[in-house]
Chain A
Amino acid sequence: MKKKWIMTAAIIILAALTGGCQNKSSGSRKTETSDNRQETTDTKQEGVVDLLVWGGEEDEALLQEMFTDFQEAYKDQAEFEITFVAESESTCKDTLMKDLEEGADVFAFADDQLNTLVAAGALEPVEQAEQIKAANSPESVAAASVGDTLYAYPMTADNGYFFYYNKKYFSPEDVASLDKMLEIAAANNKKITMDWSSAWYVYTFFGNTGLEVGLNEDGITNYCTWNGTEGPVKGVDVAKAMADLAAHPGFALLSDSDFMTGVQNGSVIAGINGVWNAVGVEKAWGNDYGAAKLPVYNCGETQIQMASFSGYKLAGVNAYSRHHDWAEKLAEWITREENQRIRFEKRGQGPSNIKVAESEEIHASPAITALLEQSEFSCLQRIGGNYWEPVTEFAGKLAEGNPQGEDLQTLLDKMVEGITAQ
């Protein structure tokens, strides 16, 4: 009995000594980790979801309506504070690149900015990619993708330009020729307008001449033959036609907002512009409101069909958004089928959504019809960043009537040099 007692006591002592020293450290560490995790989750659940949205100034009212609907739809899940700040889709990338982390959580931008934004890490692949791809046209999906990866939400498929004209002055036959239109405008002491401060519109003169511009395989640099001296149409012919046009009494170079002012005060009776002003123009001209594809213009001794860039407007979600999940939901919301339909109804903007694009209302819109007719003579805007400044500078000089009398070929060479710079 005594032996047994001693053995039992020894085993208990050993077990206490060996077992007691094992659990302490690992147990306490686990608890600590778990507590930390819980703390993080609690922090995420607290507070108001504040989201900053950038969009076109003219879209503010429309977007505010969409925000209200969005907040109503998700009111059970979160409290929102959505702030709108006007930022043109065309300048979105430039503003964003200055301070990406403080940029908008959701922003609208033109599809040609996609590569830069993705390369800067401003956009992450879209999580609901398959759903978005299925709902929108393949072209718009391609414009929102790098390779096969979707980085943004297609919002419109109308980022191109065409001619608005006042039927009181022009017949449908008149709008087939720019020369004819200029004559009528001059005779009525009115103006036909374009905006050369944006290189986007300047492409219209070179696009169908056989002279080329485009993006190299690196996706950054450009190739350009706009200073070509051989072939049926030379670069100089185009430059001269532009200079002649700028000097024509029936022609004026006006910015986007000035164009609308002219339309409203009656001084402008036709102009090259996009669907974003369709509602405003229609309101101003009423039954005289007309839209048509771009006309032919006189280039040397040849009538050239005016070309255009086409593109898409996309909604992006800032990769550095503090509420990235909610920002994604909001981007999806403002680009979904119902809201693309509302966007067309209220703003006349062409939808990228397949179902909305197939509706009868879309096909009855003059602006969208004109855009579709022009699409035959347009190309998807894929151009490197070095394109814009040299072209704007070149067009600016011609708009001013080449005050220093520089040789047009020299001006062209300089522009091409800038466009193709590495």
Chain B
Amino acid sequence: MKKTLSIKYLLMLPVALLGIVAVISNALAVNNIRNVNNNAADISDNYMMGKSALEEIHQDVQTIHRLALSHIVATDYQTMITVVSQIKEKEAALDGKLEQYSEYVTENDNTAYQNLLENYDSFKHALVLLVCASADRKTAEAYGCANGDVAAFGTAMEENVNELNQSVNQRTALARKQLESVYKTSMLISVISVTICILLILTTVVVIVRRVVTPITHAEKEISDIIRDIDTAQGDLTRRITIVSNDEISALGMGINTFMEKLQNILHVIQGSSRKIDDVTGEVLERTRTSNASATDLSALAEELSATIQQVANNASLINASAEEMKRDVTEMAEECNEINEYSMKMKERADTMEHSAQTNMNTTGAKVKEILEVLNEAIKESKSVDQVNSLTNDILEISAQTNLLALNASIEAARAGEAGRGFGVVADEIRQLADSSRETANHIQEINGIVIHAVHNLSEHAQNLVNYMNESILVEFREFVNSGKQYKSDADYIKHNMDDFNEKTDKLLTAMVEIADSIATITRAIDEGVTGISGVARSTQALVQDMETITSRMDINQEIVGELQKETDVFTNL
């Protein structure tokens, strides 16, 4: 095969040229557009807008002039105020416009522009004079100003505007000429670009048809023939596409041929492999059916075992329940035992307290009795002094008897003395009465003293009886009470000792019962787990049976696929 130019270069060359021409053409077009834009912008931004600005300036001057005249003809101040404020607004706007217009002024126009500004200043000054005269009702003066300076400077401004306008017109005409020249150049460049592009496109089309389209069409026809044969079950994988050149298209054809060769080999392998699979599948099917029967037996056995274990689990649960109940009873017994033990401790404490209390009481009572006895004996001894009262009253009785006698003698003596002893007689009589009274009192004391002595003797006797009673009865009882307390304490100690032993044994019993209950619970859980495990085995066996059935059905599908593969390779008469 002769060596020809690569299709890649054949196609890329005209396309690249086309691209370069397009880029250059576009660059030139952009440049031209920029020129056009600049010229157009000059015309529209500078010349047209400048023209428009000049027109506005002209209009504003005329408007201000008109407003000034309307100020003169105004018949009231309110209108004048309105007009003057309108004039000022217009002037402010015109100031701005004139300042803005400086952007459009070229060196050539500068003189005319400066004249315009100067005339505008004079125009404004004349306007102020006009408005002042008008407001001051100097109408004639105002009209004179309107027709004089205001009109003159307005006209001068108009001339300045016209001058600037003409300049703008000249520059606009020049810009238009430049625009036309740019347009013609652009057109020429565009025609050349289009011609080159057309030539390049034709070259590209010829190359594509000769080197791409024709070989591809030929190869496509041969591939269609091969496919058609396969469709009619006359497939021939030994056929190949004709290779006519040595480029990318022929490389594609060779690739297709290589692919067909590989496909031919693959189908050979598939045919052989499918036969082997068919054999293996038959064998697997046979063995699966056998395994399926065994798994079914295993499943039934597992279910039976599961039921038996379940029964054991139920029995273990019953034992567990009984052990729990026994554990609760023992726990209750231990709690009650603890309560009795605590009670016996309290009882012992009370016995101690009682014994101590009895001993203390006995000691206290003994001491008190002793003290009372001492006091009582002293009192009885002292009460004997009452007996002295009798001897004393006897002394008094004797004294009163002697006194009475003395008084009697005195009264006798007084009587003897007559009138001189009358006073003495009265005294003697009084002394006698006093002696009588002392005697009566002493007698009375003796009577009462007798009663007191009797009472003291009685009291002494009863006190002695009481002391005897306390010594003989109460203190004895106290001693017995102390002995009872000691006995009670001893009994309490005995009960507590026994209850401690009993409590210890009950605790041991409780611990043993807890261990038994825990062991039974562990056994029950183990049995339950065994039941779950056996149930799982039964389910797994069941699943195994189902899987075996699935494998069987899949093996059937395998056999179907092998049949289909066989059918597919059968369409090739020549493989």
Q: Do the beta carbons of B27 and A17 come within 8 Å of each other? A: yes
Residues in chain A near residue B408, CB distance under 8 A: none
Q: B136 touching A121 by the CB < 8 A rule?
A: no
- Flag if B27 contacts A218 (CB, 8 Å): no
Binary flags per residue of B105-119, CB closer than 8 Å to A gives 1, else 0:
000000000000000
Known contacts A13-B23, A220-B76; is-contact A120 B135 (Cβ 8 Å): yes
Q: Does A65 contact B (CB under 8 A)?
A: no
| Per-residue A-contact encoding for B1-23, CB less than 8 Å = 1, 0 else | 00000000000000010010001
Among residues of B, the one whose C-beta sits closest to the C-beta of A421 is B137
The answer to whether A121 and B27 have CB atoms under 8 Å apart is no
Query: A13-B23, A385-B137 are contacts. A121–B77 as well, Cβ < 8 Å?
Result: no
Residues in A whose Cβ lies below 8 Å from that of B290: none
Partner of A119, one of B23, B30, B80, B88: B80
Contact bitstring B24-49, A, C-beta under 8 A = 1, else 0: 00110011001001100100000000
Q: In whole angstroms, what is the CA distance A13 to B135 when docked?
A: 69
CA–CA, A25 and B44, complex, Å: 14
Q: Is the CB of A97 within 8 A of B133?
A: yes
Find out whether the CB atom of A320 lies under 8 angstroms from the CB atom of B128. yes
> Could you tell me the distance in whole angstroms from the C-beta of A320 to the nearest C-beta in chain B?
7
Please tell me if the beta carbons of A21 and B34 are within 8 angstroms of each other in the complex: yes
Cα A115 to Cα B19 in complex, Å, equals 80
Q: Is A121 a contact partner of B37 (Cβ separation < 8 A)?
A: no
Q: Which residue of A115, A120, A219 contacts B132 across the interface (Cβ within 8 Å)?
A: A120
Q: Does A217 contact B (CB under 8 A)?
A: yes
Total number of A-B contacts with CB less than 8 angstroms?
91
**Chain B positions 397-430 with a Cβ under 8 Å from a chain A Cβ:** none
Which B residues lie within 8 Å of A320 (CB)? 128
A122 with B30, Cβ < 8 A, contacts A10-B19, A25-B41, A217-B76 known = no
A284 proximal to B (CB < 8 A): no
Please name the residue on chain A nearest to B45 by beta carbon.
A25
Q: For the complex, count residues of B whose C-beta is within 8 A of A.
A: 34
Looking at the assembled complex, report how far the CB atom of B7 sits from the nearest CB atom of chain A, in whole angstroms. Answer: 16
Q: Per a CB cutoff under 8 Å, which of A18, A119, A385 touches B81?
A: A119
Complex: A21 Cα to B36 Cα, angstroms: 12
Which residues of chain B are within 8 angstroms of A29 by Cβ–Cβ distance?
Answer: 103
Chain B residues within an 8 Å CB radius of A32? 103
In the complex, A219→B138 CA distance in Å? 15
Known contacts A115-B77, A218-B76; is A14 also within 8 Å of B136 by CB? Answer: no
**Is A17 in contact with B31, judged by CB distance below 8 angstroms?**
yes
Interface size on A, residues (CB 8 A): 36
Q: Is B287 an interface residue (CB 8 A)?
A: no
Q: In the bound complex, do residue A93 and residue B75 qualify as a contact, i.e. CB atoms below 8 Å apart?
A: no
A-facing residues in B419-477 (Cβ within 8 Å): none
- B 124-139 to A, binary, CB cutoff 8 A, 1 in contact else 0: 0100110111111110
| Other-chain residue from B16, B81, B125, B128 in contact with A146 (beta carbon distance below 8 A) | B81
Q: Mark A206-221, 1 if CB is under 8 A from B, else 0.
A: 0000000000011110
Please indicate the chain A residues that have their CB under 8 angstroms from the CB of B19 in the complex: 6, 10
Interface of A is mostly: helix
Q: Is the CB of B84 within 8 A of A385?
A: no
Task: List CB contacts (< 8 Å) of A6-24 with chain B.
Answer: 6, 10, 13-14, 17-18, 21
A93–B135 Cα gap in the complex (Å)? 10
B87 within 8 A of partner (CB): yes
Tell whether, in the assembled complex, residue A386 and residue B128 are in contact, meaning their CB atoms are under 8 Å apart.
no
Give B137 Cβ to nearest chain A Cβ, in Å.
Answer: 5
Among A96, A119, A120, the one with the most B-chain Cβ atoms within 10 Å of its Cβ is: A119
A260 on interface, CB distance cutoff 8 Å: no
Task: Tell me if B85 is interfacial: C-beta within 8 Å of chain A.
Answer: yes
- Is the C-beta of A361 less than 8 angstroms from some C-beta in chain B? no
Residues on B with C-beta less than 8 A from A220 are: 75-77, 137
Q: Which residues of A contact B195 (CB under 8 A)?
A: none
Chain B residues near A122 (CB, 8 Å)?
132
- By CB atoms of chain A within 10 A, which of B81, B87, B138 has the most? B81
B385 CB within 8 Å of chain A: no
Closest chain B CB from A318 CB (angstroms): 11
**CA A120 to CA B19, docked complex, whole Å:** 74
User: Quick check: is B232 within 8 A (CB to CB) of the other chain?
Assistant: no
In chain B, what residue has the closest Cβ to A29? B103
Give every chain A residue within 8 A of B134 (Cβ-Cβ): 119-120
Does A94 reach chain B (CB closer than 8 Å)? yes
**Is there an interface contact between B37 and A119, defined as CB atoms closer than 8 Å?**
no
- A residues sitting closer than 8 Å to B (CB atoms) are 6, 10, 13-14, 17-18, 21, 25, 29, 32, 93-94, 96-101, 115-122, 146-147, 217-220, 319-320, 385-386
Given A10-B23, A21-B37, A120-B80, 4 other A-B contacts at CB below 8 A? A97-B132, A117-B135, A119-B135, A147-B78
13 A-B residue pairs with Cβ-Cβ distance under 8 Å, sorted by A, are A10-B23, A17-B26, A18-B30, A21-B38, A99-B129, A100-B128, A100-B129, A120-B131, A217-B76, A218-B75, A219-B76, A220-B76, A220-B137
Q: Measuring CB to CB, which residues of chain B are less than 8 angstroms from any residue of chain A?
A: 16, 19, 23, 26-27, 30-31, 34, 37-38, 41, 71, 75-78, 80-81, 84-85, 87-88, 103, 125, 128-129, 131-138
